[in-house]
Amino acid sequence: MSAYNTIVAGLSASGLVLLGFVATHGQSDFHMSAAQMQATLQAKAEAALHDGDFGWATITMDGQVATITGNAPSDGAIAAAQQLVLTSAGPGGWLRGGIVRVETELTEATEVSVVSPFVWRATKTEGQDYILTGVVPSEALQTELATAAMSVMPNTLSDRTKLAEGAPDGDWGEIAKFGLTQLQKLDSGEARLTDRVLKVSGIAMDDANRIAVTAAVSNLSDPWQGIARISGPSLWTAEHIDGALVLSGSCETDADRAEIAQIAQTHFDGPIIDNMTVADTQYEDWIQGVRLGLPHFTQFESGEMAFEPEEIGFTFDGEASTSTLQFLREDMGKLEGDYAVTIDAEPVAVILEELQGVDLGDDPLQACQASFDLIMDANAVMFETGNAVISRESGITLDKIMAVSDTCAETLLFEVGGHTDTSGAREANMTLSQDRAQAVANYMRDAGFEAERLIVKGYGPDIPKTDNETPEGRAMNRRIEFTVQERSE
Same domain, 127 and 241: no
Which are the contacts of 339, defined by CB distance < 8 A and separation ≥ 6?
286, 289, 307, 309, 313, 314
**Last residue of one domain, picked from the residues 208, 231, 254:** 231
Q: How far apart are CA 353 and CA 356, in angstroms?
A: 5
Q: How far apart are CA 133 and CA 265, in angstroms?
A: 26
pLDDT over 90 (residue 298): yes
Same domain, 382 and 473: yes
Q: Where do runs of H (alpha helix) occur along 219-343?
A: 254-267, 287-297, 322-332
Q: How many domains does the chain have?
A: 4
Q: How far apart are CA 44 and CA 90, in angstroms?
A: 10
Kind of pairing between the strands at 130-136 and 157-159:
parallel
Interaxial angle between packed helices 3-25 and 34-51, expressed in degrees from 0 to 180 and rounded to the nearest 10:
110
Same domain, 82 and 205: no
CATH number at residue 332: 3.40.1520.20
Instruction: Please write the tens of the pLDDT for every residue from 353-403.
Output: 898 887 877 899 999 999 999 999 999 999 998 899 999 999 999 999 999
Question: Which run of H or of E encompasses 181?
Answer: helix 172-184
Same domain, 362 and 444: yes
Instruction: Please write the tens of the pLDDT for every residue from 227-244.
Output: 998 877 778 999 998 899
pLDDT over 90 (residue 320): yes
Confidence of residue 108 (pLDDT cuts 50, 70, 90): low
Strands (E), 43-183: 57-62, 65-71, 101-107, 119-124, 130-136, 157-159, 162-163
pTM score over 0.75 = no
Which residues form the domain of 482?
Answer: 353-486
Instruction: Please write the tens of the pLDDT for every residue from 184-202.
Output: 999 888 999 999 999 998 8
Which are the contacts of 353, defined by CB distance < 8 A and separation ≥ 6?
none
Same domain, 345 and 260: yes
Same domain, 319 and 417: no
Same domain, 98 and 66: yes
**Last residue of one domain, picked from the residues 107, 141, 175:** 107
SS3 159: strand
**Last residue of one domain, picked from the residues 301, 328, 349:** 349
Same domain, 9 and 92: yes
Interaxial angle between packed helices 139-152 and 172-184, expressed in degrees from 0 to 180 and rounded to the nearest 10:
20
CATH number at residue 67: 3.30.300
Instruction: Please write the tens of the pLDDT for every residue from 430-445.
Output: 999 999 999 999 999 9
